[in-house]
Amino acid sequence: MMSCAVAVRDLRVERGRRQVLHGVSFEVPRGSVLGLIGPSGCGKTTLMRAVVGVQTVAGGTVTVLGEPAGGPGLRTKVGYSTQSPAVYDDLTVTENLAYFAAVLGAPKTDVARVVAEVGLEDAAGQTARTLSGGQKSRASLAVALLGAPELLVLDEPTVGLDPVLRNELWGLFHRLAAGRGVTLMVSSHVMDEASRCDRLLLMREGEILADDSPGTLRDRTGAADLEAAFLRLIADREAVSDR
Amino acid sequence: MSSAQITLATAKRILTQLRHDHRTVALMVLVPTLVMILLYYVIGDQGSFDAWTPVLLCVFPFLVMFLVTSIATLRERTTGTLERLMASPLGKLDLLLGYGLAFGLMAVVQVALVLSVSLTWLGFGLGAPLWPLVVVALCNALLGTALGLLCSAFARTEFQAVQFMPVVMIPQLLLGGILVPRDQMAPVLEWISNVLPMSYAIEAMKLAAAAGAEGDFWRDVAVVAGSAVLALVLGAATLRRRTP
């Protein structure tokens, strides 16, 4: 059994002539929750797409569960939820899930399970078009939970949710990691969510500023909270580059 | 899950989407029949109507399937469901065949209605068996689906996708031998006409209406079906697992 679910080495991604990831390297241990934190446009989504294997990359390697990212063997093992909900607007929540379950070869009973896991029981018969923003993003998240993924790549899964629901989902993420040994990569720009991750990647402008546990980050920077720690890291980095 | 099961699940999903959209279904199924009725009263002469009916039977399945498919696949691309599917075990051909199957089924319903109204109420004088007409109409619907899939890859917005319709459709109609017989065109135009699949579809439909599956009928059908397969393969090549 490998200890690493994801290993990224010197990953470079270009969009047009602009480089959006400048040689990023990191590893994610199995069964852990990794938080990707950073401002909008810092490359979080690009990095996640590269791990899922849907991003054209310019260089470097991405190894997922021992295989090159996006390999045929990974397609039932990696659950992916995009930032904007990717569900069919004109299907009900249940119909959406039933279709994706069929594509993944997941049992039909999975539909009811994931609906319950994201707390959408009351809206299961509604077409996705009529859902609120938060409900729709939960429907999209539910698709990623179908089957038995070993790695979940979730791009801003809690955006637009109230604190109670957010708390419930983070509870679910930790149950998946602790109970089923699932590895999670979760992006967010909310700092209080960052403290719930086992490890954090702080990203800015296509680079990783820090790769540590939330506690170590606070200690290292001497900051009271993660927001302050993040600001201090940026200030340090700029001081170095100005010199 | 085997590839065939994924294809069937995809076709079922597309039909379920249509079931939620009554207006689109009504437009797909009723419009060709209503236009046929309009044509009947505009022409007012049974002989000319009998000559025009095969042409319309050719144009409608193609047109409707082209439009519906190009918009539907464009939506898959823009809403992120395609990206999700490209990260799943679904094969590119599973998706394309799923679309072909679902919209092919819609084409059967569409053609069945327009043919039954034409043959009964409108007194379309068909001096040959019915099935060759259905074969051509279906091949043409599949061609429309396949070209719609292909063209949607070159459109960024639904506005652009709709504009591809006249680009693909009008030259094929002008050069397809409807207005001017193909052998009376300038040589260059006749050459172009020779490589457009719709020319063969229209010829096959005219043959089918006049004498059934006789003469060049099967050659023409093979050209139309072959073009549909070619367009499907090219369409599959435009679906990428990795995108920038």
ipTM: 0.89
**Residue A71: DSSP 8-state:** -
Residues whose CB falls within 8 Å of the CB of residue A240, separated by 6 or more in sequence, listed in order: none
Separation between Cα atoms, residue B165 and residue B29, nearest integer Å: 19
**CA A60 vs CA A51, A80, A106: distances in Å:** 12, 21, 33
Q: What is the pLDDT of residues A140-180, one digit of tens each?
A: 999 999 999 999 999 999 887 888 888 989 999 999 999 99
Q: Which two three-digit tokens encode residue A106?
A: 């997941």
Q: Is B244 within the bounds of a domain?
A: no
For B157, counting Cβ atoms within 10 Å of its Cβ (0-12 exposed, 13-18 middle, 19+ buried), the class is: exposed
Inside any domain, residue B243? no
A82–B84: do the CB atoms touch at under 8 Å? yes
Dump the DSSP string for A167-208.
HHHHHHHHHHHHHH--EEEEEES-HHHHTTSSEEEEEETTEE
Nearest to B198 by CA among B241, B141, B117: B141
Torsion, Cα of B67, A97, B86, B83 (10° steps): 70
Q: Which residues contact A66 (CB under 8 A, 6 or more apart)?
A: A2
Is B173 part of a structural domain of the chain? yes
CA distance, residue B111 to nearest chain A CA (Å): 26
CB of B243 less than 8 A from some CB of A: yes
Q: What residues make up the domain containing B164?
A: 3-238
Partner-chain contact A102 B6, CB within 8 Å: yes
- The answer on pLDDT for A107 being more than 70 is yes
User: Which residues in chain B have their CB less than 8 angstroms from residue A52's CB?
Assistant: 87
> What Cα–Cα distance (Å) separates residue B137 from each residue in B58, B116, B140, B151, B204?
6, 14, 5, 21, 10
B19 touches chain A (CB under 8 A): no
List of residues 6+ apart from B54 with CB closer than 8 A: B133, B202, B205, B206, B208, B209
Give percent of chain A above pLDDT 70.
99
Window A:14-33, CB contacts with B under 8 Å = 15
pLDDT at A5: 93
In a domain, B60, yes or no: yes
Residue in chain A nearest B83 by alpha carbon? A54
**Nearest-CB residue to B83 (from A54, A56, A85):** A54
Distance separating alpha carbons of residues A89 and A129, to the nearest angstrom? 5
Give the pairing of strands A199-204 and A207-212. antiparallel
Domain count, chain B: 1
Q: Is A76 on the interface with B (CB under 8 A)?
A: yes
Decide: A201 and A240 in contact? Cβ < 8 Å.
no
pTM, full prediction: 0.89
- Answer whether residue A243 shows pLDDT above 70: no
Q: What pLDDT sits at residue A2? A: 55
Taking 70 as the threshold, does the pLDDT of residue A126 lie above it?
yes
Q: Count residue pairs from A and B with Cβ separation < 8 A.
A: 83
Q: Which residues pair with B243 in a beta bridge?
A: A55
CA distance A70 to chain B (A): 7
B138 in a structural domain:
yes
Sequential pLDDT tens for chain B (244 residues): 578 999 999 999 999 999 999 998 998 889 889 999 999 999 888 888 888 888 888 888 888 889 888 998 899 988 999 999 999 999 988 998 898 889 888 888 988 899 899 989 888 877 788 889 888 988 998 899 889 988 888 888 888 888 888 888 888 888 888 888 888 888 999 999 888 999 999 999 888 888 887 888 999 999 999 999 999 889 888 888 888 8
B16 falls within a domain: yes
Q: How far is B76 from chain A (nearest CA, A)?
A: 8
| A183-188 and A33-37 strand pairing | parallel
Q: Cα(A35)–Cα(A27) distance, rounded to whole angstroms?
A: 12
Residues of B in contact with A75 (CB under 8 A): 87-89
Give percent of chain A above pLDDT 90. 65
pLDDT at A75 over 80: yes
User: Cβ of A85 under 8 Å from any chain B Cβ?
Assistant: yes
CB contact under 8 A, B87 and A53: yes
State mean pLDDT over A58-63: 94
Question: Given an 8 Å threshold on Cβ–Cβ distance, is B87 in contact with A54?
Answer: yes
Which chain A residues are closer than 8 Å to B89 by Cβ?
A: 72, 75-76, 103-105
Confidence of residue A35 (pLDDT cuts 50, 70, 90): very high
Q: Enter the tokens of residue A141.
A: 């998240």
| B229 within a domain of the structure (yes/no) | yes
- pLDDT, residue A1, reads 45
Neighbours of B120 (CB within 10 A): 9
Q: Hey, what are B221's tokens?
A: 């059908």
Q: How far, CA to CA in Å, does B125 sit from each of A182, B51, B118, B206?
A: 67, 10, 9, 13
Domain assignment present for residue B178? The answer is yes
> Within 10 Å of residue B194's Cβ, how many Cβ atoms?
12
